[in-house]
Structure 1
Amino acid sequence: MIAIIDYGAGNLKNVQHALNLLNIECKVTDQPGDLQSATGIILPGVGAFGEAMNRLNEAGFSDEIKSQANQGKPLLGICLGMQLLFQKSYEHGEHEGLGLIEGEIVRFEHGLKVPHMGWNQLIISAQNKESLINRDVQDDDYVYFVHSYFAQPKNEEDILHATDYGKPFTSAVKRNHIMGMQYHPEKSARVGMQMLKNFGEMVR
């Protein structure tokens, strides 16, 4: 069973609906203790980084997410949920993240329209090309974005996908069993559903 974390800052229903369509057992939960019995975890999110981290901390999720991830449980962050996996964000100040992936979250450069919104293409990184999460996903496949900040991983080997917007930026990450997608797989038609299916297989 995949636990979808409800901390008041996520696009929960669409993620749950997508997993239900794929016949992947899932549960939306606002109880940190439920993560212990889950076989995988999805951390969704929309909104501002600092507020989201405050909510995770206040609800008791932050320590439990880190504990389960450190035990090797598959974890997928979506949109803001991916950004929260990093050490730090500069969105409206400076905020500490979960620190599960080294790097920081920064704003798109001036001159680029923000938010970066709509369909854009994936560039699959060579070092993670053979990962199960990429099964039946191709270079130049389109996925759906809505964001003004993006991740800068410290380690190139953590990059799963890149996308070009003014210049290439990291649009998905993978460090062992910890993954994040800046785009919304639940809104990305066939490609997004395939990646959610692949995550479900990794969990099994």
Structure 2
Amino acid sequence: MVFQLDRQLNKLSKKKDIIDRYNSTANFYDERYKEIQEEKYKLVLHNYTLKEKTILDCGCGTGLLGEYVLNSKNEEEIFNINFVAVDLSLNMLLKFKQKLLKLKNKERVSLILADIENLPFRDKKFNFIFSFTSFQNLPQYFKGVLEVLRVCSVVGDLILTILRKKLDLDNLVDFIKPLVRNLKVIDQKFVEDVIILCKNSQE
């Protein structure tokens, strides 16, 4: 019991550290990371249409992905989408909220303060889930994988990118492979993240 309590406290401490770190960097996050993140979006999104999708952005930060999608896609490509963005950092979400004032289709965006390991959504709600450069921050990223699969519709699309230097790729692939279909792993040296593309196979 003592060991389990210590382990739980360590997880909570790690999450608090993450929240504090991102709250403190929200004001200059875009200046430092926007260009890097947009290169990942371009690499991944050109093969997908988001039309009429219910989208979840896990670890949305300051809304760089939402901003990119709503500004770079034409009206036909984003017709009738619903974009739900979650993050643990309140300051990051407040930055995203400021951006919404200038974004087209902003009425289709919802911001939620939430934890990827404990998402406040019913099963199979989303048919497109993104998480860019967030899973390496989770105390238990396997739990995060199960949680995003829970809220992803059957054959819904899932795109995860994880910092290569903080990833045990073989273990993650072994874990996720039986749970999904059409698994594709992109590991290119010019991108700092490993990119995982797949469809949910969980009923």
* TM-score interval for Structure 1 and Structure 2 normalised by the shorter chain: 0.3 to 0.5
- Between structure 1 and structure 2, the one with the greater Rg is 2
| TM-score of the aligned structures, taking structure 1 as reference length | 0.33
| TM-score of the aligned structures, taking structure 2 as reference length | 0.34
| Higher RCO (C-alpha 8 Å, min separation 6) | 1
Q: Which has the higher strand share?
A: 1
Q: Which has the higher helix share?
A: 2
